[in-house]
Amino acid sequence: MDKHEMEMVTLEIVAYSGDARTKYMEALNAANNKEYDKAKELILEGNKLIAEAHKVQTKMLQMEASGEKIEVGFLAVHAQDHLMTVVLLRDIINNFIELYKKCN
């Protein structure tokens, strides 16, 4: 995988993760407004985006595992950081939504 291809792949991860983050924040806002069905839908949409980011990440891992040289630059590190931060955000927001339900 050349440098340009690597950049495009890592940008895919960032884009999917960023879109998922938006969905999760919208879900939190919906739950805050007692719109739990809407919140659930938004969480599911975010999860689909995270699944797409994981597919891209898995492709990179498989390439490296098969012996292909993968050049890891700052952009790749940023993409991984972005993805893992959004996964953590999802887990926290899911817990907040459950707390909102209990308190209301």
Write out the catalytic residue numbers: 78
Classify the C-alpha dihedral 34-38-40-44 as positive or negative. negative
Residues in the chain: 104
Cα dihedral value 68, 66, 87, 52, nearest 10: 90
